[in-house]
């Protein structure tokens, strides 16, 4: 057993964890390999993270798998990523079924290749009966796209007379985001030592805690996840209140 696992407070787990899986290409370069090698090696990191979150009892795990900006990468790399996604859904199906994991996606999936969309739909259907963690793949996703899409929907509803303009508030916009069915993330992890969101969950991360790991994603394992959760549990989440107010609420 990991030395870190017993340090995790099972009563204070983040309900929703988002992961920006960064550093595949740079890690491959350090190994003297092409960037695609890093993406293939990262499958083990995905498996370890998904399995660990499911075992701990995390409710939702969102993996930032492909952003809208990633289309600007070399065509060979993009094609390899799309095929890897298809292959991984098939190879990890047993893991998902054994752990009751339900698969879902957010993002403009209509813009993905047909084979990728078909693999995703099949995976969603096959895991729909699960009663465990929700695994959400953010594909062809960006926070700006999500907010703009929600704003456009609100504008159309107002123009069509289905919504009053003075009813436009935070709740109205949140209800039209691609994540409307899921709670906002409480913990966002980014690997590879970078310290930015890169257009991920711009609205939803308003009160998320951030954990930046120096580890490249292909080397990220269970202990790295445990370290992030332990760090999260050591923080005081005040949501605009003072420490004294929190203590009074806990001990009236």
pLDDT of residue 248: 65
SS3 label, residue 220: coil
pLDDT of residue 238: 73
pLDDT of residue 236: 83
CA angle 51, 61, 125 (to 5 degrees): 85
- 70 is an active site residue: yes
pLDDT of residue 134: 98
What's the mean pLDDT when you consider all of the chain? 94
Beta carbons within 10 angstroms of residue 71's beta carbon:
11
Catalytic member of 3, 70, 108, 231 = 70
pLDDT of residue 245: 64
pLDDT of residue 250: 64
Q: Is the pLDDT of residue 22 over 80?
A: yes
H or E element: which one contains 105?
Answer: strand 102-106
Task: Give the confidence band of 2 by pLDDT, cuts at 50, 70, 90.
Answer: confident
Q: Please report, for residues 58, 87, 224, 227, the alpha-carbon distance to residue 3 in angstroms, rounded to integers and kept in the order given.
A: 20, 33, 12, 10
pLDDT of residue 1: 67
Taking the C-alpha atoms of residue 202 and residue 151, their distance in angstroms, rounded to an integer, is 14
CA angle 45, 46, 50 (to 5 degrees): 120
Output the pTM of the full model.
0.94
pLDDT of residue 204: 98
pLDDT of residue 247: 63
- 22 is an active site residue: yes
**225 with 53: CB under 8 angstroms?**
yes
pLDDT of residue 57: 97
Q: What is the pLDDT of residues 128-161, one digit of tens each?
A: 999 999 999 999 999 999 999 999 999 999 999 9
Catalytic member of 22, 146, 184, 224 = 22
Q: What is the pLDDT of residues 102-128, one digit of tens each?
A: 999 999 999 999 999 999 999 999 999
User: In a 10 Å sphere around its CB, with 0-12 CB exposed, 13-18 middle and 19+ buried, how is residue 233 labelled?
Assistant: middle
Taking the C-alpha atoms of residue 241 and residue 60, their distance in angstroms, rounded to an integer, is 26
């Amino acid at each position: 057993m990991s030395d870190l696992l017993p340090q995790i407070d099972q009563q204070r787990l983040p309900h929703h964890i988002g992961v920006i899986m960064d550093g595949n290409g740079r890690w491959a370069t350090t190994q003297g390999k092409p960037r695609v090698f890093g993406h293939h090696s990262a499958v083990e990191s995905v498996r370890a993270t998904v399995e660990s979150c499911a075992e701990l009892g995390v409710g939702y795990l969102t993996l930032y798998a492909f952003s809208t900006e990633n289309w600007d990468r070399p065509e060979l790399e993009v094609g390899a990523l799309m095929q890897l996604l298809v292959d991984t859904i098939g190879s990890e199906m047993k893991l998902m079924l054994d752990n009751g994991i339900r698969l879902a996606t957010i993002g403009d999936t209509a813009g993905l290749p047909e084979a990728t969309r078909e693999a995703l739909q099949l995976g969603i259907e096959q895991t729909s009966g699960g009663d465990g963690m929700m695994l959400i793949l953010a594909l062809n996703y960006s926070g700006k796209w999500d907010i703009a899409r929600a704003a456009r929907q609100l504008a159309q509803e107002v123009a069509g007379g289905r919504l009053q303009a003075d009813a436009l508030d935070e709740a109205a916009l949140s209800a039209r985001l691609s994540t409307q069915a899921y709670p906002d993330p409480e913990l966002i992890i980014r690997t590879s030592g970078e310290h930015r969101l890169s257009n991920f969950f711009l609205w939803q991360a308003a009160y998320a805690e951030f954990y930046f790991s120096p580890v490249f994603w292909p080397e990220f394992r269970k202990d790295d996840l445990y370290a992030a959760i332990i760090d999260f549990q050591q923080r005081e989440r005040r949501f605009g209140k003072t420490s004294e107010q929190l203590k009074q609420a806990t001990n009236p």
